[in-house]
């Protein structure tokens, strides 16, 4: 079979790698892809936003299944366009993707269907938002309603910080249309984790948990990023919490979307926080998380293509998972998530046994890789323990220590290793 993966980042490279393992797959296409995907896929120079061109390519090339990676084309209705053309595609429709596209909409769904989340109010008027903030006090969280490339969330430690965030979003329209409305919600305390599932209507097949590290610098310092590293599974959940999250959050949300007339098909991602009252939803995404995908998919023993075909056919894919840990650490361009330089040559990337490399922001100049984004690469490893996986990953990453053009966090997963009393190797 022929598979088309739409997207260009680390998440999509991880998907390409997994599809390429399938004995059923004869050809993987990536549109537009990146330089690192060229080993496993044929990269097609069509942008994720060019729906008509992508549909035409899928038809002309005899693509059997299309997988949509990023959120923007989903919210722009690419799945609807593929379906109208009679093509098999895995992802939510434009209406269902609103679960990610509008934080206010997601909050309304959670309130209506008793899905645990933080208390909130939504505002389009800055003065009303400020009055609410002054009444509630800090810490408090201010979010742009729409997509803001992971940067539309301010965790304000003081009332004045929250008021400043309101002005930035509603008055200065820092995120354009995405911040014409904001959601202000209570600050939740606890350990965050991610839980994703393959979904088709009421059918929900959960994956293993993962934990992402959003802050740029070690010790969880610095600005929020798209993710500096991740590991799976998250090892410190109380007994029964996984089952609670699957039943009361993932399945309840899938059922709610059916009842709302917006049935969800694709990857449902719940960003969760383990509070003293149990798991609560921080956010929903309508697609695989990045970099969680890079550490969850290597633990999946099933053929990914067969999983998707089964889910689309309302069959139980009987997911099985390796009884191991997987860790991934991101190499980023100096300056990220602020301004950074592109076109910087990467050191020689020697393949090491058992270690995998996922390309996020790279391109090829002659025969060498250069940087082409903020998050450049992810180095990953699956092992019997999280500490063993991280030891090998961090050893491989020392090739970047001599360069001022790149940085990575050396403490990914360390707090989890310590809290689980696992020996750090």
Instruction: Decide yes or no: CATH 3.20.20.10 for domain 2-93.
Output: no
117: tokens are 């989340």
Q: Give exposure, 213-244, as e/b (b: 16+ Cβ within 10 Å).
A: bbebebeeeeebbbbbbbbbbbbebeeebbee
pLDDT of residue 148: 83
Dihedral angle, C-alpha 224, 230, 236, 242, nearest 10 °: 100
The answer to whether the beta carbons of residues 357 and 10 sit under 8 Å apart is: no
pLDDT beneath 50, residues of the chain: 423-425
pLDDT computed for residue 425 by the predictor: 39
Check residue 417 and give its pLDDT: 76
Domain boundaries, the chain: 2-93, 125-180, 192-312, 325-419
Query: Looking at residue 185, what is its pLDDT?
Result: 97
Residue 151 has a pLDDT of 75
The answer to whether 101 and 39 have CB atoms below 8 angstroms apart is no
Question: Dihedral angle at the C-alpha atoms of 40, 42, 46, 52, nearest 10 degrees?
Answer: -100
What pLDDT, on the 0 to 100 scale, is given for residue 424? 41
> 3.40.720.10, 3.40.50.920, 3.40.50.2300, 3.30.470.20: which CATH number matches 192-312?
3.30.470.20
CATH 3.30.1490.20 holds for 125-180 = yes
* H/E element, 211: strand 211-212
CATH of 325-419, one of 3.30.200.20, 3.90.600.10, 1.10.420.10, 3.20.20.140: 3.90.600.10
Q: Which residue has the tokens 């491989």?
A: 396
How far from 290 is each of 71, 76, 91, 233, CA to CA, in Å?
11, 20, 16, 15
């Amino acid at each position: 079979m022929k598979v088309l993966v739409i997207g260009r980042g680390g998440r999509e490279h991880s998907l390409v790698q997994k599809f390429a393992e399938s004995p059923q797959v004869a050809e993987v296409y990536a549109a537009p892809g990146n330089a690192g995907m060229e080993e496993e896929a044929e990269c097609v120079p069509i942008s994720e936003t060019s729906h008509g061109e992508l549909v035409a390519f899928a038809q002309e090339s005899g693509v059997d299944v299309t997988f949509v990676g990023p959120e923007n084309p989903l919210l722009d209705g690419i799945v609807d366009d593929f379906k109208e053309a009679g093509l098999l595609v895995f992802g939510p429709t434009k209406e269902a993707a609103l679960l990610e596209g509008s934080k206010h909409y997601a909050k309304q769904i959670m309130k209506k269907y008793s899905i645990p989340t933080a208390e909130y109010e939504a505002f389009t008027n800055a003065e009303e938002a400020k009055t609410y903030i002054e009444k509630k006090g800090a810490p408090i969280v201010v979010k742009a309603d729409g997509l803001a490339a992971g940067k539309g969330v301010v965790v304000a430690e003081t009332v004045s910080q929250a008021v400043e965030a309101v002005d930035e979003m509603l008055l200065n329209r820092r995120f354009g249309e995405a911040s014409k409305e904001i959601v202000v919600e209570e600050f939740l305390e606890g350990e965050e984790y991610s839980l994703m599932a393959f979904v088709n209507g009421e059918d929900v097949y959960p994956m293993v948990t993962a934990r992402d590290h959003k802050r740029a610098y070690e010790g969880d310092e610095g600005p929020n990023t798209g993710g500096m590293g991740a590991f799976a599974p998250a090892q410190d959940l109380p007994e029964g919490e996984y089952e609670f999250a699957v039943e009361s959050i993932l399945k309840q949300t899938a059922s709610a979307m059916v009842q709302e007339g917006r049935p969800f098909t694709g990857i449902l991602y719940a960003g969760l926080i383990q509070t003293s009252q149990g798991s609560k939803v921080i956010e929903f995404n309508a697609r695989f998380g990045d970099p969680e995908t890079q550490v969850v998919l290597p633990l999946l023993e099933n053929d990914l293509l067969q999983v998707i075909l089964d889910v689309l056919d309302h069959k139980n894919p009987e997911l099985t998972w390796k009884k191991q840990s997987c860790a991934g650490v991101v190499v980023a361009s100096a300056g990220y998530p602020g301004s950074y330089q592109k076109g910087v040559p990467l050191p020689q990337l020697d393949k090491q046994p058992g270690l995998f490399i996922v390309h996020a922001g790279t391109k090829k100049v002659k025969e060498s890789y250069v940087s082409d984004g903020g998050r450049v690469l992810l180095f990953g490893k699956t092992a019997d323990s999280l500490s063993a996986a991280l030891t090998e990953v961090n050893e491989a990453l020392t090739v970047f220590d001599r360069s001022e053009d790149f940085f990575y966090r050396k403490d990914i997963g360390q707090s989890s290793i310590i809290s689980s009393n696992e020996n750090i190797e």
